[in-house]
């Protein structure tokens, strides 16, 4: 079973201890700078737990719609089969492309000093954004690529206060461009001004604990400090649902969300 998620094995809390050394008084001497020593206290993996879950779709999902890409012949080159909309990716009753994240929880989940990983890749192939939904931690980056033989445009439309829109063009098979995201926000739309059917979504998490469901709706979030959590599950068309779970040390909590067509 394929699972998507972020894995954190330990929480490191930095503690600062400060002091200063006396300096002989001199008429022109400046005050001595404080001497700071630091040490790390590692919370053992035995204090961590995880959440395994699934997002289901109840009933019959809306049928995908064929996309007319005839305005740009280059978009159909190398394509196998028809190009269809991606709003509802339902397989075996599971709903894909759902962003699952920690909405609230113990302070340790929000203060863990997690390193920012490599940039998340969003490519443009066959005049589609691939993947359709991506997620990263606040401060992380997205690397936008263009694998097509046609010109593309990347235009994000954030709504969070302080978020800046991205509006850049990429030449056919041109150099990739990497952009940093510093504001927490769910489902930021990404569009191409040259090809109006192209769309994707970027999610920026406050913590390193998040996932995007796979094609069967599965997700896994590991390395969570033990405690009570509220998880959010966000779909581009169906909105957000929340659920409370209790994560125990060395335990695996189960979570199941169910969406239905509106």
The pair of three-digit structure tokens given for residue 60, joined into one six-digit string: 């019959």
Chain Cα centroid distance, residue 182: 12
Q: What is the rounded average pLDDT of the residues 31-59? A: 71
Q: What is the pTM of this model?
A: 0.83
pLDDT for position 225 = 95
Residue 170's CATH number: 2.60.40.420
CA gap 256, 207 in Å, rounded: 21
Structural domain includes residue 192: yes
Structural domain includes residue 202: yes
| Peptide bond preceding 131 in cis form (omega within 30 of 0) | yes
pLDDT for position 80 = 60
Handedness of CA 161, 167, 170, 175 (dihedral sign): negative
- DSSP state string for 182-225: -S-EEEEEEE-SSSTT-EEEEEEESSS-EEE--TTSEEEEEEEE
pLDDT for position 78 = 55
Residue 152 has a CB neighbour count (10 Å cut-off) of 23
Number of domains making up the chain: 1
Q: What is the rounded average pLDDT of the residues 200-206? A: 97
Average the pLDDT over each of 20-29, 199-208, 240-249, 253-262 and give the range with the smallest value. 20-29
pLDDT for position 42 = 54
Whether residue 68 is predicted with pLDDT greater than 70 in this model: the reply is yes
Q: What is the rounded average pLDDT of the residues 217-245? A: 97
The pair of three-digit structure tokens given for residue 224, joined into one six-digit string: 């969570």
- 45 confidence band (pLDDT: 50, 70, 90): confident
Whether residue 9 is predicted with pLDDT greater than 50 in this model: the reply is no
Whether residue 27 is predicted with pLDDT greater than 90 in this model: the reply is no
Q: Which domain holds residue 54?
A: 11-260
Q: What percent of the chain has pLDDT over 90?
A: 74
pLDDT for position 7 = 41
Among the listed residues 234, 3, 1, the one whose alpha carbon sits nearest the alpha carbon of residue 98: 234
Q: Decide: 245 and 224 in contact? Cβ < 8 Å.
A: no
Structural domain includes residue 1: no
Q: Decide: 54 and 218 in contact? Cβ < 8 Å.
A: yes
pLDDT for position 16 = 39
Whether residue 1 is predicted with pLDDT greater than 50 in this model: the reply is no
Structural domain includes residue 194: yes
pLDDT for position 116 = 84
**Residues 70-127 pLDDT 10s:** 999 999 765 567 889 999 999 999 999 999 999 999 999 998 878 888 999 999 999 9
pLDDT for position 79 = 58
């Amino acid at each position: 079973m394929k699972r998507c998620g972020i894995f954190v094995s330990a929480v490191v809390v930095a503690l600062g201890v400060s002091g200063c050394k006396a300096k002989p008084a001199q008429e022109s001497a400046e005050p001595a700078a404080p001497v700071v020593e630091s040490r790390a206290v590692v919370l053992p993996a035995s204090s961590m737990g995880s959440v395994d879950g699934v997002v289901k779709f109840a009933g019959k999902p809306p049928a995908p719609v064929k996309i007319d890409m005839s305005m740009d012949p280059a978009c159909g080159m190398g394509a196998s089969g028809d190009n269809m909309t991606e709003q509802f990716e339902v397989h075996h009753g599971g709903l894909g492309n759902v962003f699952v994240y920690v909405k609230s929880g113990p302070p340790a989940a929000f203060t863990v000093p997690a390193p920012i990983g490599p940039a998340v890749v969003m490519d443009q192939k066959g005049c589609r954004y691939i993947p359709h939904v991506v997620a990263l931690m606040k401060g992380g980056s997205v690397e936008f690529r263009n694998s097509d033989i046609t010109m593309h445009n990347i235009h994000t439309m954030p709504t969070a206060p302080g978020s800046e829109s991205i509006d850049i063009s990429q030449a056919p098979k041109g150099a990739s461009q990497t952009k940093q995201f510093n504001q927490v926000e769910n489902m930021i739309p990404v569009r191409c001004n040259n090809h109006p059917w192209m769309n994707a979504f970027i999610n920026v998490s406050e913590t390193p604990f998040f996932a995007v469901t796979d094609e069967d709706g599965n997700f896994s979030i590991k390395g969570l400090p033990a405690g009570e959590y509220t998880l959010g599950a966000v779909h581009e068309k169906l909105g957000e649902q929340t659920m409370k779970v209790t994560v125990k040390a060395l335990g695996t909590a189960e979570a199941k969300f169910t969406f239905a067509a509106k």
